[in-house]
A and B are shown apart, each in its own frame.
Chain A
Amino acid sequence: MKTMIEVENLTVSYGRGAQKNTAVDGVSFVVREGECVGFIGANGAGKSTTLKTLMGFTYADSGVARVCGHPAGAPEGRREIGYLPEVALYYPFMKARELLELYGTLGGMKKEAFKQRIPEVLELVGLAGHEGELLRTFSKGMQQRLGIAQALITKPELLVLDEVSSGLDPLGRYDLRRILERLTKEGRTIFFSSHELSEVESLCDRVILIDQGKVLREVTREELHAIGQERSLESFFISEVRAGGKDHG
């Protein structure tokens, strides 16, 4: 099975000298083709920094990060990726259609393909009929749905989603789960960060727990279900973070 994401001993820090703050500290993991992997951790655990490094927005101090067989940040690798940033406010002066055309064009789509793909992707995220509206009129939840649409516009093989359910109401979260399930069934690889434990339980083949820049533990879907029988996922997560993953193997 093809390896879509490969991270080995990745270290990323911000600042210099005494101000230096190590956000990601020797993280290693892989995500294979067709997998849905959740990246879970508290605020400041290093989730977004890892994702940003994978996308080439942030540079690593050391270690290896490869996406779709290319070094992180290489334009060739990004052809196969759909990325959702954590809480973006899309251009208020653009219409939904124009935004998707912009990202589609940059992703290598031909103009003729937009006619079919834009309504299709807007329908998928529950924004059908909004394509001619200016984004300044969109609510936070609609912006997040549009964010998912822009990530999907070029039919990428790999989806990297940062805090995917951020800004969504319960109905939005339900819809999102259905979308991700559908994409997983289609064979897409999904790697997403989230605070929502219920989300990862229902969707993921595997969960990677991260805290203070280090991977604490990787848990498979089966293990997650077994844990869920005994106690809540929340208490499992808290105990893992407090124990620093030492008492689990």
Chain B
Amino acid sequence: MNKIHLMAIGRGAVLEMLRRKDLAVLGLFMTVYLLFLAAARFVGLETPAAGTFLLNLSLTLIIALAHLLTLLMAARQIPDELERRTLYPLMARPVQRAEILLGKGLASWAVGLAVFAVLLVPTLLLVPRMEAYVPGTLAQTLLLQPVALGMTASVALCFSLLFPRVLAVFLSGLLVFAAGMLVRLPLLAVLSRWLPDPGRLNLVLRYTDGIGPLSAADFLSLTVSGLLWSGLFLAAACRIFQERSV
């Protein structure tokens, strides 16, 4: 893998994100969100339960937004290149197909992570803590998010090569946002250990419920499973892309 190639391809994807209307929509959402947090702080929360609810809601919201952005961005990269026919001049350079995929996947991941980081700071500063929360759990929550976003990006990239655009977004969304619910269905319960579920890496509820951090072994196991799933989906995407005539 050539780092310069990855950076150049990733830069193109980020530039697209910055110059499309997505940024304006994101900016609008961020403004509304910050006003909401400021209003909540100004008005004041009467009970600790309300504070916990607001903290839970805010963290869940920003994590969901980061995943949604990553998913939408990753899922459109290759279909857009094919539609515009710009994939050809890209592939005509001495780059490997895997570099194109990885560059675009990394860009989608980085954008999701940046949005998460930017929204996290005001969330942690503005939402009042009225109950005792365990900092170690927050640290684990934050450390697992890059891994979860990596899973989201690789799932969306892989599905975008397998299915038509809308179906790819729908199926990726289902896996990213609803896998936890799906595995509660009787027939799918057996899959609960095996389904790639980025939601399992979300420890927000654990944090806002005041529960302590995971054991080192559990934390490591979650991290490794997230990395493995990301690697598997990326490897599958690379293989599909490599073997496909475009």
A: residues with CB less than 8 A from B are 14, 52, 55-59, 75-76, 78-79, 81-91, 93-94, 98, 102-103, 105-108, 134, 147, 150-151, 160
CB of B92 within 8 A of CB of A81, answer yes
CB of B94 within 8 A of CB of A79, answer yes
CB of A91 within 8 A of CB of B86, answer yes
- Please measure, in the bound complex, the distance between the C-alpha atom of A90 and the C-alpha atom of B87, giving whole angstroms: 10
CB of B8 within 8 A of CB of A102, answer yes
CB of A83 within 8 A of CB of B88, answer yes
Q: Which of B13-21, B45-53, B109-117, B201-209 contacts A (4 or more CB under 8 A)?
A: B13-21
Q: Which of A75, A88, A94, A107 contacts B88 (CB 8 A)?
A: A88
CB of B12 within 8 A of CB of A91, answer yes
- Please measure, in the bound complex, the distance between the C-alpha atom of A56 and the C-alpha atom of B87, giving whole angstroms: 12
CB of A90 within 8 A of CB of B91, answer no
CB of B245 within 8 A of CB of A106, answer no
Chain B residues lying within 8 Å of A83, measured Cβ to Cβ, are 88-89, 92
Q: Which of A82, A91, A103 contacts B84 (CB 8 A)?
A: A91
B: residues with CB less than 8 A from A are 4-5, 8-9, 11-12, 15-16, 19-20, 84-86, 88-96, 243, 245-246
Query: Which DSSP category, helix, strand, loop or mixed, fits chain B's interface?
Result: helix
- Please measure, in the bound complex, the distance between the C-alpha atom of A147 and the C-alpha atom of B84, giving whole angstroms: 13
- Please measure, in the bound complex, the distance between the C-alpha atom of A75 and the C-alpha atom of B90, giving whole angstroms: 12
- Please measure, in the bound complex, the distance between the C-alpha atom of A247 and the C-alpha atom of B91, giving whole angstroms: 40
Nearest residue (CB) in B for A82 is B92
Chain A residues lying within 8 Å of B15, measured Cβ to Cβ, are 93-94, 98
Chain A residues lying within 8 Å of B94, measured Cβ to Cβ, are 75-76, 78-79, 106-108
Residue of A56, A57, A87 with most chain B CB atoms under a 10 A cut-off: A57
CB of B8 within 8 A of CB of A150, answer no
| A-B CB proximity, top 4 nearest | A83-B92, A85-B88, A106-B93, A93-B19
Chain A residues lying within 8 Å of B16, measured Cβ to Cβ, are 91, 93
CB of A55 within 8 A of CB of B85, answer no
Chain A residues lying within 8 Å of B11, measured Cβ to Cβ, are 102
Q: Which of A58, A78, A84, A98 contacts B246 (CB 8 A)?
A: A58
Separation in Å of the A100 CB from the closest CB of chain B?
A: 11
- Please measure, in the bound complex, the distance between the C-alpha atom of A14 and the C-alpha atom of B245, giving whole angstroms: 9
Residue of B9, B85, B93 with most chain A CB atoms under a 10 A cut-off: B93
Nearest residue (CB) in A for B8 is A105
Chain B residues lying within 8 Å of A56, measured Cβ to Cβ, are 91
Chain A residues lying within 8 Å of B246, measured Cβ to Cβ, are 52, 57-58
Residue of A86, A105, A147 with most chain B CB atoms under a 10 A cut-off: A105
Chain A residues lying within 8 Å of B93, measured Cβ to Cβ, are 78, 103, 106-107
- Please measure, in the bound complex, the distance between the C-alpha atom of A239 and the C-alpha atom of B31, giving whole angstroms: 69
Chain B residues lying within 8 Å of A57, measured Cβ to Cβ, are 88, 91, 245-246
- Please measure, in the bound complex, the distance between the C-alpha atom of A150 and the C-alpha atom of B245, giving whole angstroms: 23
8 contacts between A and B (CB under 8 A): A78-B92, A78-B93, A88-B89, A94-B12, A98-B15, A106-B93, A106-B95, A108-B94
Nearest residue (CB) in A for B12 is A102
* Given A94-B12, A98-B15, residue A89 in contact with residue B86 (CB < 8 A): yes
* Given A78-B94, A102-B12, residue A87 in contact with residue B85 (CB < 8 A): yes
Nearest residue (CB) in B for A51 is B88
Nearest residue (CB) in A for B103 is A106
